[in-house]
Structure 1
Amino acid sequence: MSPVNLLDFDLDGLAAYCEGLGEKRFRAVQLFRWIHQKGAADFTQMSDLAKSLRDKLAGAALIQPLAQISEQASADGTIKWLFDVGNGDAVETVFIPEDDRGTLCVSSQAGCAVGCRFCSTGHQGFSRNLSTGEIIAQLWFAEHHLRQRLKLGVGERAISNVVMMGMGEPLQNYTALVPALRTMLDDHGYGLSRRRVTVSTSGVVPMIDRLRDDCPVALAVSLHAPTDGLRDQLVPLNRKYPLAELMQSCRSYLAAAPRDFITFEYCMLDGVNDAPEQARQLIALVAGPRAAERVPCKFNLIPFNPFPASGLKRSPRDRVLAFAKVLQEAGIVTTIRKTRGDDIDAACGQLAGEVQDRTNAQKRMTRPVIRIEPSTQELP
């Protein structure tokens, strides 16, 4: 029998595993702390564990890191790691340092099956879901590697924020995602605030509803279009879960959310979704037909990071500013994301890794995006 990877367990899962070994929960808490707070991978280092437990774990369990293929450092301090996850698949993880935080962008799948037209991961196709251990191993490595690299003191963290915005659609890997989130939040693990852990989704409505009940964290929604006609082209998942359903799910999520708003991500595409009228359509979309149906939100406008297969271009800066002004004048908090790591292909939409595509994505995504001209009719 293959050894069990203890990175696959949240604390409750590890307690159940230890109970199967005849050990009490407090032993699981000790073990969990050694793994996640101290970064230990060798049971012999865990000096306050009973020797009998260490003997049981030897050969039966392990802490399995991901094999690092490469590391690239950007001129702005961003670091991108490529990790081997076996069978020809590799995923990317990105660390983004700022003055007041350290953010880790984590992958949840090898590739992505959603196929958003502006995302290089989507053009690459999909191979498989990552396990809980493979998701949390990205944080485990980054936190403890950076602590040593940055010479941080006891109690100092390298990672203060985690965003599930790497390769893949997190909510299409829900079973593995939730235990990973719980490990990130657990005070015996990484102790991150729910407000500092963000799941980004392209709009898997049933799983948004489940996340609200199972493990509510900050939610970001990849919106990218104000109408179903355009979003169907840019985010194909919209054909299954159209905007009306998505907005209702966002409203419901806020009943349990650690933040009192949803972040809508909006990639600015030249001549496709960046007209002032489309900004006004967004205002109408989040306002809802009645005041009680408004979606409290902020917009994060993202400069498109071009890649040859997309057939798309980045919106000019002046058009992005004009678009933001329309939203801001309607009272919606709007930010323009600063592009980080684009010189090492680590910016938003650029993560590609290496995957064995099982979806023939490149063949399916060769058709051009139709540029929809905004109508001249003013919205009410």
Structure 2
Amino acid sequence: MRKIIMLLCLLLFLTAAYSYPQSIQAYTAPLTADEQHVLEQSLSIHEIDREIARIESQQNETERSISELSEQLEGKNEQIKDIREQAGARLRAYYMGEREDLLAALLSVGSLRDFISVLDYYELIMDRDRTVLNNYKTEYADLKKTKTKLESVSAELTQIKTNLQLQRNRVAALQEQVDTTLGHSTDPEKLMAMIEELTKYWENIGLYEVRRYFRALSTAMSDFSDFLDDHKDSLVSEKGGYRLEVREEDINAFLRDKNERLQDVSFEFGQDKIIVHGSREGLRLEVEGHYTVENEPENSITFHVDRLFINGFELPDTTRKELEEDFDLGFYPKKIVPFVEATEVDIAQGTLTVKLKLSF
């Protein structure tokens, strides 16, 4: 029975997967400029709402962390009071001469046996003193660390709240524009139906498929060192290092060989930009971006998503940022040649060039 239910669920999903692309294709062309614009705005509203939900979740987690850290700080303050008193007593004993009296007693004993007994007692006291003082130092250092972490997390929460308010303002402004467009439309019901259909398509198919594309690209790029195994002539030695030249046709062949999912994906190197095209079962993906050299947390050639289109509709910066954070489309020179690091990246027509310097 369970297998039958799972099979029915799968059939329902596949039915939705094929019906949504067909229905969206019915109105993606031709669209008026106003229709195109309002559909993009509605898609942006949906995506920024998703970002708001993510930020709110992050805010809740951060507030929980602050609460936990505050409790830890309060507990450490209580613990350190007792340890501070003990440490103070030890220090007063030294300054007031009590330890010198004990040492004098040690030197005045009349037999070796008594001397050893007093010495053992003296060492025991000294060890206890050191333990108390070291405990105080350790607890005080932990207290300072907890306080610093609490201040850092509190500052992060302030930034999160600012970002949350910013995104809410964006949604409100976009929603007002969409409402205005609907109010001036000659056929608001049709336009509203298009907005709902596009939103459903994105929720059920679009976002899932886009993430699958990015996941496949990320997995392939993580094996970029394999690229040189097939294209050794791409790495050219020059004074002080190397020059890596990646040709458009070579990277496309490499990606398609790495993952069947990328058979319909192509990289296009233009002047200072890269355009990635993909098309599958009614979904058309276009990503425009560029590479930069980054040195933190390690030397890398990092890909940045500048523009993102799904079936001709542009998605907002929140979606681009999310995909950048979740999927790494860059590569790491030290994984190609262990003793080099990238210093410059250049994108020209048909070629990506990376300059590498020796780094021992």
TM bucket normalised to smaller: under 0.3
Q: TM-score, normalised by structure 2?
A: 0.22
Q: TM-score, normalised by structure 1?
A: 0.22
Q: Which has the higher Rg, Structure 1 or Structure 2? A: 2
Greater per-residue helix proportion = 2
